Chain A
């Protein structure tokens, strides 16, 4: 009986073995400024990866787990339902961004930016009817992701895990110190020179007042003691000319 059960189990796992693909998901290139934000990150689309292992109608899902709980994750097989976004992070994993493989055509020279933005849908965050909601990530991480191809809810192929995606953490604005580090040279020059000039002017003004006051006061004092100026009388020429002309 037990041997029969073991055989059945082996048969079942044999049917449901998922194909392991060696590629990993990759983060989008660094030229995108919004590659990693505080609640989203961007991955490159899994083009040309699943082509040999899946049909065009198979769905490719993204599995997001917390790296610390990665070992607990097993690919969901029916009748077990897929982990929903709304239960994350209590559930420590969710699956989202499901799309048919034909939406990832393998075009070698595509110049379009082909990224998947994880966390871009805000409208279905609490909507239980959308368990595959691509909602914003609630904690900074670290996260691990992999792509999982499913055929009628049966896992068919999967990539390796991409580990340790850390999201940005925002600092409080009161940690910013707005004080200037040091005084600028211009300010020091202006302040010192102008202060010195003003001081010199005031000193000179007071000195001038004192000088003028002593000068006026001094000269008036001296003039009162002054000896009278000797005035010389001049006899002009015409006084003597008249008697000479008398006959």
Chain B
């Protein structure tokens, strides 16, 4: 990369001027053939290469999160607080923009083109602002996912027989579907355990008597046909015939990975980009027309 540049460069021109102008200016003016300059350019190119690669990685990571392998999205949707998905969507576009801008930056630094580098700096600042917003959003909204949030949602929406409107119906069905799948697949019951169904009143309890259903049938240990192995054992709470552990860890785990993945990886990228941008601004200010 640098050898081809050497062939093309117009080597060694200096601006002479009278002694009236400050001496410092001329010393620091960029001589295009100077080794120090080439070293600095190399560093900037390297910085932009890393930004480009990180941009691709950020896009890939955010696409992974948005595609929601664990299908926990209905639970978030029902809390009316799915902003960590918004943060991941912003992450996809920011990553793509970072890659493109990194290419622009590399070309601009090698050609020492003032216009290109000015465009690079301005667009990078805009991208930087968006990514900052995405990281802060992901970090802030992760804090809202407490046990009590999911507990309250489960009690109010799981197998809700009388939703208030279409919106509520959609959310209740999503919550019911998700919880059924969670409890059957991961062999867990409730948020903290089966006692959630005993300690609190719920929409489920409104239509299912406590005597028949101390907890939902999905909390019972099932055989391959999907029938409880021992229904009376399950109702009595005999260990081995019902699922004892709570499902909160299985919900919080993927949400944590999602939120911290977006927030901390974005944070790392931004810390690196900060230095590259500062150096680019310095380099830009030193290019003479």
A interface footprint on B206-223 (CB within 8 Å = 1, 0 otherwise):
000111101000000000
Stretch of B63-71, B101-109, B169-177, B263-271 that contacts chain A: B263-271
Q: Is the CB of A226 within 8 A of B132?
A: no
Verify if B258 is at the interface (C-beta below 8 Å from A). no
Asked whether, in the complex, the Cβ of A194 is within 8 Å of the Cβ of B210, the reply is no
Say whether, besides A34-B214, A39-B211, A173 and B140 are in contact (CB < 8 Å).
Answer: no
Q: Chain B residues near A190 (CB, 8 Å)?
A: 135-136, 139, 263-264, 267
Known: A33-B195, A173-B152, A226-B18. A197 touches B237 (CB 8 A): no
CB-defined interface of B49-90 with A at 8 Å, one 1/0 digit per residue? 000000000000000000000000000000000000000000
Please determine whether A34 and B237 come into contact, CB atoms closer than 8 angstroms. Answer: yes
Determine the residue in chain B with the shortest Cβ distance to A168.
B198
A112 CA / B54 CA spacing, docked (Å): 62
Residue B31 CB within 8 A of the other chain: no
Chain B interface residue count, Cβ-Cβ cutoff 8 angstroms: 60
CA distance A33 to B214 in the complex (A): 10
Q: A186-B263, A187-B142, A202-B125 are in contact. Are A33 and B242 (CB under 8 A)?
A: yes
Question: With a CB–CB cut-off of 8 A, which chain B residues contact A187?
Answer: 136, 139-140, 142-143
Q: Is the CB of A204 within 8 A of B281?
A: yes
B195 touches A211 (CB 8 A): no
Chain B residues in 8 Å Cβ range of A3: none
Check A113–B155 contact: CB distance below 8 A. Answer: no
When A33-B195, A184-B142 are in contact, do A205 and B200 touch as well, CB less than 8 Å?
Answer: no
Which residue in chain B gives the minimum CB-CB distance to A177? B148
Residue of A nearest to B145 (CB): A180
With contact pairs A211-B285, A226-B17 given, residues A198 and B271 touching in the complex (Cβ less than 8 Å): no
A120 interface residue per 8 A CB criterion? yes
Q: Which secondary structure dominates chain B's binding surface? A: helix
CB distance from A138 to the nearest CB of B (A): 11
Check A119 against B200 for contact (C-beta < 8 Å).
Answer: no
A148: Cβ under 8 A from any B Cβ:
no
Nearest CB on A from B136, distance (A): 5
How far apart sit A241 and B284, CA to CA, in the bound complex (Å)? 51
Would you give the shortest CB distance from A186 to chain B, in whole angstroms? 6
Among B146, B210, B271, B278, contact of A178 (Cβ-Cβ < 8 Å): B146
- Nearest residue in A to B195 (C-beta to C-beta)? A33
Contact residues in B for A120 (Cβ distance below 8 Å):
211, 235
Contact B199 A170 (CB under 8 A): yes
- Kindly provide the distance from the CB of B113 to the nearest chain A CB, expressed in whole angstroms: 15
Q: Any chain A CB within 8 A of the CB of B260?
A: yes
Residues of B within 8 A of A198 (CB): 128-129, 132
Whether B142 contacts A201 by the Cβ 8 Å rule is no
Q: Which of B155, B260, B289 has the most CB of A within 10 A?
A: B155
Number of interface residues of A (CB under 8 A): 56
Which one of A170, A178, A229 lies within 8 Å of B18 (CB-CB)? Answer: A229
Cα distance, A46 to B235, chains bound together (Å)? 21
- Most chain B CB within a 10 A radius of its CB, from A32, A121, A201, A227: A201
Per the bound structure, the CA–CA distance linking A115 and B260 in Å amounts to 49
Does any Cβ of B come within 8 Å of A40's Cβ? yes
B131's nearest neighbour on chain A, judged by CB, is A194
Q: How far is the CA of A117 from the CA of B200 in the complex (A)?
A: 22
B-chain residues with CB within 8 Å of residue A211 when the two chains form the complex: 285
Q: Using a CB-CB cutoff of 8 Å, which residues 119-168 of chain A contact chain B?
A: 119-122, 135-136, 168
Q: Does A208 lie within 8 Å of B285, measured CB to CB?
A: yes
B135-A194 in contact (CB<8A) = yes
Kindly state the separation between the CA atoms of A195 and B202 in the bound complex, as whole angstroms. Answer: 43
Interface contact B267-A194, CB-CB below 8 Å:
yes
8 nearest A-B pairs in the assembled complex, by CB-CB distance:
A33-B237, A34-B237, A178-B149, A136-B211, A173-B155, A187-B139, A176-B152, A39-B210
30 contacts between A and B (CB under 8 A): A31-B239, A32-B237, A33-B239, A38-B210, A39-B210, A39-B211, A40-B210, A122-B212, A173-B201, A173-B202, A176-B152, A176-B155, A178-B149, A178-B151, A178-B152, A180-B144, A183-B143, A184-B143, A186-B139, A190-B135, A194-B132, A194-B270, A197-B270, A197-B274, A198-B129, A200-B274, A201-B278, A204-B278, A212-B284, A229-B16
